[in-house]
Structure 1
C-alpha cells in the first residue's frame, strides 16, 4: 500500500525574520554557549545531558544504527472494534491507496473492515521512528492516523481532577437541551474558516496596497451573572420567552385587583319635586 500525507500546512502564510534597521533577512546561526564563537554545521552533534553541563555525545552514525530501517511496509497487529477508538491519541492523518500489485487485496481488506466495523492497528517506520498507526475504511480507500504514545498523552483523570462534582438541573439543563436542539448540524469541514489566516492575509494585502490597517473590535466582557440571559439570547429565547405564562388563576387575580382598585360610583341625586302654588 502507498502512504500519502492527508494534511498539509503549505498553503499557510509564511514569514521571514528581518533586520528592522536594514530590511535584510536574518540568518540563523548556532554559537558556542561559552565562547560565543559560531559553530559550523559539520561540528554540530547531538548530546544527552546526564548532569548539569555534562553530556553524552551521540554521533550521527550511532543514531542511524540504533533507529530501525524503513522497509516501507505496514504490519497489521490486530483488528479492534471502531467503538473502542480513542481519538485523543490521534496525531497526523495519511491516505492509504493500493499499489500497482495489490488492488485486490486492498479492496478485500477495505470491504471486510467496513462490514465488520473494525479498525486495524499496524506499525511502520516513518521519519526514522517506529510509529503505531490506526487504519480505518473511508470512502474508496483507507485512512491511517499515526497515534501518539501513551506517555505523550496526558491522563484525562489528572486533567479533570479539580473539576467539581456538580449536578445541573431545572432551567439551566432545559436551556442547554434547547440550545443543542436548535443548533444541531452535520460535519462539513468546508464550513471551517481559519480566521487567523484570513486576518493576516487581509493585513498583508492592506500594507501592500497602502491602505489603513483594519482595526480590531474589542469584545465586551459579560458578567458571570449574565450567563443565563446570554444562553437565552444564544438560543433565540429573548425576554419574551423568559416571562412566565399567564394562567387562568393569575388572570382572575389580576381582574380582582383591577376591580378593587376601581373607585366606587357616586349615587345620582334624587329628582326635585315640583312645588304647589300657594
Structure 2
C-alpha cells in the first residue's frame, strides 16, 4: 500500500475533516541506468565543484538564488520554511467556483483525499454538497516546502485534490501567431466544413480511458524481455508492500451547528498543526570488481637445421 504524503485536515468554514493526502498518479516509465560500455559498470553522477573539480558532499551543499550572472544569495532552510504557509498539513478551502469555470490548462497533478477514521460523515457531506451544487473548492495546500493552489472536486465516491498552475506559470496564447477570425476569412467553404463535421461525427465515441495504452512502453518492454531471455537473466520479484500508518481518530461532530456558525460568521477556523518528521535513507554503494584475463605464455621451440650436400656424378 502507498503511504500518505501527509495526514492533516480538509477545512471549509468551521468544518475540519481529517484526511490523508495520497498520490493520484502512478509512474509507468521504464527507467534506464547508464553503464560504461567497456566494463558494463554503472556510471555515477557526482556533485562536483565547478572550479576545483572536487566532489562536494551533501552536507556542504546549500541553496542559493542567482540574482545576477555569477552572483548568488544563499538561503538557509529556515528562510524557505518561513515563506510557507502556517497550515502546513491542511487543505484550506477559500472559495467555491463553478466546476466548468477553470480551463484545462490550469490543472497540473492529481491527488486523492482519503478520510481519516470516524471522519466519513464530514467527508461525504462535503462530497455530496459539491455534486449537488456543481461547485469545486479552491484551496491552498503546502506539500513538503512549497505552497500550491489547488481544487477540491468530487470523483465518484472520492474527493480529488488537483494542483493548479498559477496564471504566471502559463504562456499567453497571444504571444504566438494564431490564425484569427471566422472560417470564411480563411477561405474555408461550407462544403469543407460539412465534410469535416461528418468526419468528426463518424469518429465520435464515448470516452473510455481503458481503451488507451502507452503502446511505446509496451513495445519497449517486449524488447527488454527478449533481451533478458537471450542473455539468460532472471529478475527476482521484489515485494515493496509497506504498512500504511493509521489515521488519527476524531470525535463526533455536530455538523449542523458548525454549518450554521460558518454561514453566520463566514470565517475559517485555522487548521490544526501536526508535526511531521522525515527520515532520510542513504543508499549503499556497491563496488564492482572487474576480472582481467591472464595472458598465456607460449613456449619457444628451437629449430634444428641439417646440412646435406648431394652431388650427382655425371
User: With structure 2 as the length reference, what TM-score do the two structures score?
Assistant: 0.62
Give secondary structure in 2 for the equivalent of 1:38. Answer: coil
2:67 to 50, 54, 58: 50
2:21 matches 1:3: yes
Distance 1:29 1:52 in 2: 24
Larger Rg over CA atoms = 1
The match for 1:163 is 179
Show CA shifts across 1:120-162 (max 9, x none): 1111111211111111111112111000111111113324x33
CA contact (8 A) 1:70 1:126 kept: no
Give structure 1 stretches of 5+ with no counterpart.
212-278
CA contact (8 A) 1:69 1:128 kept: no
The match for 1:261 is none
The match for 1:111 is 128
Structure that is richer in helix per residue: 1
Show CA shifts across 1:15-71 (max 9, x none): 111111110011110111112121111111111112221211122343334333554
Distance 1:56 1:71 in 2: 26
Q: Which moved more, 1:164-173 or 1:96-105?
A: 164-173
2:100 matches 1:83: yes
Distance 1:56 1:141 in 2: 44
Change (3 A) 1:61 1:71: closer
Show CA shifts across 1:92-121 (max 9, x none): 111122211321111111111111111111
Distance 2:145 2:86 in 1: 7
Moved over 6 A (4+): none
More relative contact order in 1 or in 2 (CA 8 Å, sep 6+)? 2
Change (3 A) 1:141 1:173: same
The match for 2:152 is 135
1:206 to 226, 245, 256: 226
Distance 2:83 2:160 in 1: 29
Show CA shifts across 1:200-244 (max 9, x none): 112212222339xxxxxxxxxxxxxxxxxxxxxxxxxxxxxxxxx
The match for 1:37 is 54
Q: Considering only aligned residues, what root-mean-square deviation do their CA atoms show, in Å?
A: 1.9
